[in-house]
């Protein structure tokens, strides 16, 4: 009796529906994982660029002590 229920048309439809839902879930999960990796890679590239820009800006600073008292155009108290 139980075997008849497993091979009934209702169970075949239920198995097909669950199979389709499972396939959709797998495809959605793969797409979401790929999008997350892409965003993470873009963020890492942006962080690396900002770090390199900060290092190059620091290297470009003039450290000449003779220009210490030179007017830079800002008025201070």
Residues 30-69 have pLDDT tens digits of 999 999 999 999 999 999 999 999 998 888 777 777 877 7
27: which 2 tokens? 């495809």
Q: Who has greater pLDDT, 18 or 12? A: 18
Q: Give how far Cα 62 sits from Cα of 36, 38, 68, Å.
A: 42, 39, 10
Q: Quick one: pLDDT at residue 5?
A: 72
- 10 Å Cβ neighbour count for 73? 5
Query: What are the extents of the domains in the chain?
Result: 15-54
Total-model pTM: 0.57
């Amino acid at each position: 009796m139980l075997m008849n229920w497993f091979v009934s048309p209702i169970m075949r439809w239920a198995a097909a529906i669950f199979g389709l839902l499972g396939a959709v879930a797998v495809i959605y999960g793969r797409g979401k994982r790929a999008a997350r990796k892409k965003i993470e890679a873009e963020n890492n590239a942006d962080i690396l660029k900002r770090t390199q820009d900060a290092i190059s800006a620091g290297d470009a600073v003039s450290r000449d002590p003779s220009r210490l008292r030179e007017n830079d155009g800002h008025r201070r108290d």
